[in-house]
Amino acid sequence: MTDIGFKYPKKEKLKSRKAIEVLFTEGKSVSKFPLRLVYTSHENFEEETLKFGVSVSKKYFKKAVDRNYYKRVLRECYRLNKKILYENLEQPYHMMFFYQTKERLDFQSINTKTKELFEKWVVQKNEKA
């Protein structure tokens, strides 16, 4: 876990329908406008310690091209800042990352908000522990 690097490998991606369902029913969330992170811990230690997914609502971006662009941006922001999350994991987590606005923000501002959101998650997680 010391060298997590800047990759986003397939084994780190959240794809399980069951896991996503559990996220939406039992998950806790933390927000930093326009981003939202929904997370839940899980007990399966054979898996990667963090499974991460991204989502952009059709409600805000009707065209798939626009949704795909923001999903790429979210994945890139996660990839560059995941060190913040990994340094504060004591148990495995499933996380989903959402872009929740019609505003078309540039990469720099989304990246800054991502850092703030991840730091807010660390603070919130440590308060509950």
Instruction: Please give the pLDDT value at position 2.
Output: 45
What residues contact 107, with CB distance under 8 A and at least 6 apart? 73, 76, 77
Domain spans of the chain, in order of start:
10-128
State in words which class domain 10-128 has: alpha beta
- Proportion of the chain above pLDDT 70, given as a percent: 92
What SS3 class is residue 66? helix
Cα separation, 81 vs 75, in Å, equals 10
- Could you report the per-residue pLDDT of 95-122, keeping only the tens digit for each? 999 999 999 999 999 999 999 999 999 9
Question: Tokens in use for 55?
Answer: 């989502």
Q: What is the pLDDT of residues 1-29, one digit of tens each?
A: 446 778 888 888 888 899 899 999 999 99
* Per-residue model confidence as pLDDT tens digits over 23-73: 999 999 999 999 999 999 877 655 568 889 999 999 999 999 999 999 999
